[in-house]
């Protein structure tokens, strides 16, 4: 396995014994290898040594030969009794030369003779030959790659079959099988690089159609992780071997589980070779597979660290009174270290729209925190300022400049000027968030609430982790740096996840410089790189050529693709195999980091192909944030609610004032217009009094380790009038089934019972997850009917045998309903609607006693109710989560007793009624006793984009340019021959400049000339005036042209200056005001009184500007939220 790249500070590779003793005869039937090479048909019963020899001879060397299409001498891989993978590299390089596309042609090179061709036939596991012609065009190349991918998939699964045998855990079988899996993963990664290269050369987005083909069950974009759950008892021998290697080499059990459940076999093996660096004195003895507690700090005895253990410098503190004054005024403090009279002092300034500053992201474990004072050791502050001063100015990305992005942290990033300025200030929580005062300190709460504004407005986020203190950017490759970042202590903290997710640019500080782990185009590591922090040359052509360059680049529509071509994929045909392997590993690491930190960003993200990835909807963002926070740790668990609210764009100030975790989580959930259905299936994390008699038993207290499933819009629960409605459309019904149960046995005396679904002929074993040792009022026979919700499909789309589910108690049925929502825009939404209850009005409506009696009778006979009423609502209350297992034929016994078991199971199992398509399930919630909905903040780009001034100035540009062009044409037609050369040159120059402006205005939205452009126009007009006055023959057209140009460009120049110096700062202050509930936003204790005239006006304005994302204004409590008597008794919160 030494064909994989080795880290610069890596440990020795895992020893794989060389036990192969049978050479593979090329061009024979690969799948008949055991029979044709003397192992017999009963090879599964071979002793462990012979089975290991068969596995290595067949699945390693023979598979290698079959993939490469050439004979491979396995003895060349024998290195002192161990397997060496280095001889594979030249063979694989030759295969790339024959099959990878080159820069001169999009087709691979012609294949040689069949005896040594890379396109030799591959036989599928079913022994049906896959004929492949020589790959002379891209379609044949795609077919060749598809066949190779399918072959690797079959070999991978055959290797898993080997280790599932009884001999599979006997040495050296686990090591041999692990080497086979790593070989399959590595070769598949090389195939992926070839596909990417072909896509780039075709000038198409990467992977223009799904690849690998659907026939590959496990080899999708990358090989699957060895253990999706990371659970040790079910781990295969090869997975257990990797776990043992990681633990023996000093890895924390939590990180070992994280790596194994997140990456493929090749990447996990690469991680096992990393020399893991931990902070001095850090111990992982108390860590478990589910949690790393070594990164948590004890605040009581916490002391800031010095840069050197021998340093005894005194701490320097920031002026707390000034910090509090800035926060009290609605601002944000920033820090700069400066020398005043030969004395280093901490300067505190208020952040403005022009302030260039760096936000420091760190974990307190590294010693940069202080729970007792806003102070740090002098050596640390000098180090931080040194890091800030060394940062290069950001070179604004061309694609980002073409968007209407006014401000990244100052006006220079948008309108008229894009000068790259170096940051001077920095923000760090230790100095800028006041300490003390307790949880009720309003100033401290205000500072914590404005953290999202800090990281969104920062010039960049500087990531500090002690594991990178001795890592050199020049001395390590990108693969190692990304691998270390994904497993360092910084990446395991929830607060740092929020900071990186909200930041626009992130850089990791190393010993010599920084690197940006999220911005690069992944590809071959030896390709010339262009740093995002590389300063742009400050030349006159750079200032004057922006519109022309923007027009040329945007017209070609290839400027981002061309950049990626120049980086790597353009010459993959001439690359050696080690580079291709290295590139595939970097691609996976970069993809994982990008998905982790970019999929939750509140701003649009530009992917590697130059396409803008839209921001996720609120429900999707919730799932992504939940899943990421659940994998991370915080010293104070209640901080997870603040982080979750901030990532969703909510104002977290009301949450900071709530003490109970159930109230904090409910505040977030009640502020959303829907929630993911998988939240109801949460059975591992703590929930709100799960054995109590109330409607909110499903509400989780914290993000649990059970990952939520991201659902489409049609599969999320919708919040309507305070209730949660199960989705009702054809697509969701294929994924989720609702079974209504009215028969005994009741699910109260036992945790398991069986269900027979007669509509599809399947039996399920249902296991309930109630709170152990608690008296649950719902576990009683008199509770009444219930329904079971089962989720059939997983994230990968296949139907598992074990499925999540939930149990709901039916409180009453409603038949007086009307359609509330209907969506038939796509085929997936056929018959999609929600039903809401119509309140009875008029003299003839029935009384409450008759209504209760009617409801009770219908509950006793739900089947008749479904038959009598075409549509209706089952009003339910959540009971508990379920695990539903599909009973297969094997579980029912052999064929001779199958019918007997079937009859017995049917007799013992419940036979529920499938919910009719025209009926719907509503899940009731208790009336909120907490502040809802949370006010939402606009994204930073939305808040800092002056749309009206932009269009005003753009219209003015068009008007001035059109008038000037018309007057120039008139002058050229009438008096051009009489003009002096200077005047002629000015007219031609202005005609060209105005033409570019008109082209970018009508054809290229988002591009705009810079401020210097107006100055250039004014200079040209002055030269033309001088030329015409000097000639003594100015005409009326000359005066009109001069006056129009001077007035138009003068107003345009003044308008752009006004936008920079007045509009942008005003927008920035208005954006900061979004974090202050006293400026028209809601917080706990100061709700808007909607009964007053000003309250109604403000509430209406809040709805208009999107402040009521949850849908209902405060104070409007739905009728069914009020206390009432029903079958479950008087439910109390």
| Mean pLDDT for the stretch of residues 1002-1011 | 51
Confidence label for 498 from pLDDT (cuts 50, 70 and 90):
very high
**Share above pLDDT 70 across residues of the chain, in percent, rounded to a whole number:** 68
State residue 517's pLDDT score.
87
Return the number of other C-beta atoms located less than 10 Å from residue 379's C-beta: 18
User: Contact at 8 Å (CB) between 407 and 1064?
Assistant: yes
* pLDDT single digits (tens) 1033-1092: 788 888 898 898 889 888 888 888 888 788 888 888 888 888 875 543 333 333 333 444
Confidence label for 127 from pLDDT (cuts 50, 70 and 90):
very low
**922 beta partners:** 725, 875
Confidence label for 636 from pLDDT (cuts 50, 70 and 90):
confident
| Mean pLDDT for the stretch of residues 58-70 | 89
* pLDDT single digits (tens) 766-815: 888 887 766 777 776 666 788 898 887 655 445 567 888 999 988 888 88
User: What crossing angle do the helices spanning 237-248 and 138-163 adopt, rounded to 10°?
Assistant: 80
Cα–Cα distance for residue pair 1106/1112, rounded to 1 Å: 12
**pLDDT higher for 332 or 711?**
332
User: Contact at 8 Å (CB) between 84 and 77?
Assistant: yes
**Share above pLDDT 90 across residues of the chain, in percent, rounded to a whole number:** 11
Confidence label for 109 from pLDDT (cuts 50, 70 and 90):
very low
| Mean pLDDT for the stretch of residues 993-1004 | 65
Distance of CA 897 to the CA centre of its chain: 51
The model carries a pTM of 0.79
Q: Among the listed ranges 153-162, 200-209, 795-804, which one has the minimum average pLDDT value? A: 200-209
| Mean pLDDT for the stretch of residues 910-932 | 84
State residue 414's pLDDT score.
35
State residue 770's pLDDT score.
82
Backbone angles phi, psi at 122, to 5 degrees: -110, 140
Confidence label for 831 from pLDDT (cuts 50, 70 and 90):
low
Average pLDDT over the chain reads 73
State residue 1128's pLDDT score.
40
| Mean pLDDT for the stretch of residues 698-702 | 91
Cα–Cα distance for residue pair 1061/1063, rounded to 1 Å: 6
**pLDDT higher for 1110 or 35?**
35
pLDDT tops 60 at residue 527: no
State residue 182's pLDDT score.
92
State residue 388's pLDDT score.
93
| Mean pLDDT for the stretch of residues 939-964 | 77
Confidence label for 542 from pLDDT (cuts 50, 70 and 90):
very low
Q: Among the listed ranges 326-340, 508-522, 1028-1042, which one has the minimum average pLDDT value? A: 508-522
Return the SS3 of 768: strand
pLDDT tops 50 at residue 397: no
Q: Among the listed ranges 148-157, 287-296, 507-516, 642-651, which one has the minimum average pLDDT value? A: 287-296
| Mean pLDDT for the stretch of residues 137-158 | 79
| Mean pLDDT for the stretch of residues 51-64 | 89
Which is nearest to 52 in space by CA: 185, 186, 238, 217?
238
| Mean pLDDT for the stretch of residues 277-297 | 77
State residue 496's pLDDT score.
92
What six digits make up the tokens of 940? Answer: 């930073």
User: What crossing angle do the helices spanning 639-647 and 618-630 adopt, rounded to 10°?
Assistant: 150
Q: What are the domain boundaries of the chain? A: 30-224, 315-519, 711-840+852-926, 940-1073
């Amino acid at each position: 396995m030494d064909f994989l790249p080795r880290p610069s500070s890596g440990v020795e590779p895992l020893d794989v014994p060389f036990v192969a003793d049978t050479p593979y005869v090329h061009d024979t039937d690969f799948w008949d290898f055991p029979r044709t090479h003397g192992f017999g048909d009963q090879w599964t019963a071979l002793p462990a040594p012979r089975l290991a020899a068969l596995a290595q001879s067949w699945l390693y060397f023979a598979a290698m030969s079959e993939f490469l299409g050439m004979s491979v001498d396995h003895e060349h891989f024998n290195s002192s009794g161990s397997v060496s993978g280095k001889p594979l590299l030249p063979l694989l390089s030759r295969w790339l030369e024959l099959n990878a596309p080159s820069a001169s042609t999009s087709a691979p090179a012609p294949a040689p003779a069949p005896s040594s061709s890379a396109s030799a036939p591959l036989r599928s596991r079913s022994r049906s030959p896959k004929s492949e012609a020589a790959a002379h065009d891209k379609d044949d190349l795609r077919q060749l790659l598809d066949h190779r991918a399918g072959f690797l998939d079959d070999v991978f699964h055959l290797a898993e079959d080997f280790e599932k045998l009884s001999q599979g855990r006997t040495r050296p079988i686990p090591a041999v099988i692990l080497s086979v899996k790593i070989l399959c993963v590595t070769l598949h990664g090389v195939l992926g690089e070839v596909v990417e290269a072909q896509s780039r050369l075709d000038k198409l987005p990467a992977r223009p159609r799904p690849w690998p083909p659907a026939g590959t069950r496990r080899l999708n974009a990358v090989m699957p992780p060895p253990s999706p759950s990371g659970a040790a008892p079910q781990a295969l021998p090869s997975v257990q071997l990797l776990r043992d290697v990681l633990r023996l080499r000093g890895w924390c059990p939590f990180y070992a589980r994280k790596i194994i459940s997140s990456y493929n076999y090749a990447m996990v093996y690469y991680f096992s070779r990393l020399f893991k660096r931990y902070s001095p004195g850090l111990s992982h003895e108390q860590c478990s597979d589910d949690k790393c507690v070594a990164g948590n700090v004890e605040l009581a005895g916490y002391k800031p660290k010095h840069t050197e253990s021998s340093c005894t410098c005194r701490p320097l503190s920031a002026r707390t009174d000034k910090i509090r004054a800035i926060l009290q005024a609605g601002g944000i403090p920033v820090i700069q270290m400066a020398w005043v009279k030969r004395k280093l002092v901490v300067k505190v300034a208020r952040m403005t729209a022009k302030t260039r500053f760096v936000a420091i992201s760190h974990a307190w474990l590294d010693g940069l925190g202080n729970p007792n004072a806003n102070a740090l050791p002098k050596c640390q502050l000098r180090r931080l300022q040194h890091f800030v001063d060394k940062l290069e100015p950001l070179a604004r990305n061309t694609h980002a400049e073409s968007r209407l992005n006014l401000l990244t942290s100052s006006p220079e990033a948008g309108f008229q000027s894009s000068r790259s300025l170096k940051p001077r200030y920095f923000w760090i929580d230790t100095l800028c968030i006041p300490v003390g005062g307790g949880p009720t300190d309003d100033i401290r709460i205000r500072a914590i609430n404005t953290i999202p504004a800090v990281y969104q407005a920062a010039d960049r986020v500087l990531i500090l982790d002690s594991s990178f203190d001795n890592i050199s950017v020049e001395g390590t490759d990108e693969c190692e740096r990304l691998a270390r970042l994904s497993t360092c202590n910084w990446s395991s903290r929830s607060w740092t996840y929020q900071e990186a997710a909200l930041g626009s640019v992130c850089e990791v500080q190393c010993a010599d410089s920084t690197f940006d782990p999220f911005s690069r185009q992944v590809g071959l590591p030896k390709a010339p790189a262009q740093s995002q922090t590389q300063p742009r040359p400050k030349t006159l052509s750079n200032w004057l050529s922006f519109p022309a360059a923007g027009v040329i680049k945007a017209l070609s529509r290839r400027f981002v693709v061309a950049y990626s071509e120049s980086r790597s994929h353009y010459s993959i045909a001439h690359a050696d195999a080690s580079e291709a392997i290295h590139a595939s590993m970097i691609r996976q690491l970069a993809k994982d980091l990008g998905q982790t930190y970019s999929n939750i960003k509140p701003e649009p993200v530009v992917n590697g192909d130059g396409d803008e990835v839209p921001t996720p909807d609120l429900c999707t963002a919730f799932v992504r944030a939940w899943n990421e926070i659940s994998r991370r740790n915080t010293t104070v668990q209640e901080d997870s609610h603040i982080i979750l609210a901030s990532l969703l764009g909510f104002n977290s100030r009301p949450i900071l004032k709530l003490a109970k975790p159930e109230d904090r989580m409910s505040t977030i959930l009640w502020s959303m217009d829907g929630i993911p259905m998988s939240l109801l299936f949460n059975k591992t994390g703590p929930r709100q009094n799960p054995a109590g008699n109330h409607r909110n038993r499903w509400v989780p207290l914290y993000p649990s380790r059970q990952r939520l499933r991201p659902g489409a819009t049609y599969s999320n629960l919708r919040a309507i009038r305070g209730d949660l409605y199960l989705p009702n459309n054809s697509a969701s019904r294929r994924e989720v089934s609702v079974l209504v149960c009215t028969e005994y046995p009741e699910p109260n005396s036992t945790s398991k019972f069986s269900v027979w679904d007669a509509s599809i002929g399947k039996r399920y074993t249902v296991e309930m997850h109630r709170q152990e040792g608690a008296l649950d009022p719902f576990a009683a026979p008199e509770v009444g009917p219930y329904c079971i919700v089962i989720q059939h499909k997983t994230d990968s789309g296949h139907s598992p045998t074990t499925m999540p589910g939930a149990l709901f108690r039916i409180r009453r049925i409603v038949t007086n309903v009307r359609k509330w929502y209907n969506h038939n825009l796509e085929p997936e939404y056929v018959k999609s609607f929600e039903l809401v209850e119509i309140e009875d009005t008029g003299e003839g409506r029935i009384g409450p006693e008759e209504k209760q009696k009617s409801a009770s009778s219908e509950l006793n006979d739900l089947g008749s109710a479904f038959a009598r009423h075409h549509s209706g609502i089952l009003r339910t209350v959540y009971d508990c989560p379920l695990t539903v297992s599909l009973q297969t034929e094997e579980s029912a016994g052999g064929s001779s007793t199958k019918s007997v078991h079937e009859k017995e199971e049917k007799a013992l199992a419940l036979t529920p009624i499938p919910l009719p398509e025209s009926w719907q399930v509503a899940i009731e919630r208790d009336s909120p006793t907490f502040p809802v909905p949370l006010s939402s903040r606009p994204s930073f780009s939305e808040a800092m984009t002056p749309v009206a001034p932009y269009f005003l100035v753009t219209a003015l540009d068009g008007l001035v340019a059109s008038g000037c062009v018309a007057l120039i044409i008139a002058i050229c037609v009438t008096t051009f021959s009489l003009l002096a050369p200077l005047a002629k040159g000015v007219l031609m120059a202005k005609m060209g400049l105005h033409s570019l402006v008109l082209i970018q205005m009508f054809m290229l939205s988002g591009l705009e000339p810079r401020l210097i452009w107006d100055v250039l126009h004014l200079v040209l007009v002055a030269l033309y005036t001088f030329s015409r006055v000097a000639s003594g023959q100015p005409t009326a057209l000359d005066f009109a042209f001069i006056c129009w140009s001077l007035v138009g460009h003068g107003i345009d120049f003044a308008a752009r200056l006004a936008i920079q110096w007045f509009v942008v700062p005003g927008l920035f202050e208005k954006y900061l005001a979004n974090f202050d509930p006293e400026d028209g936003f809601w917080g706990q204790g100061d709700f808007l009184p909607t009964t007053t005239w000003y309250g109604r006006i403000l509430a209406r304005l809040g709805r208009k500007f999107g402040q009521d994302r949850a849908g209902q204004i405060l104070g409007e409590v739905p009728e069914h939220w009020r206390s009432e008597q029903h079958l479950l008794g008087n439910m109390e919160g």
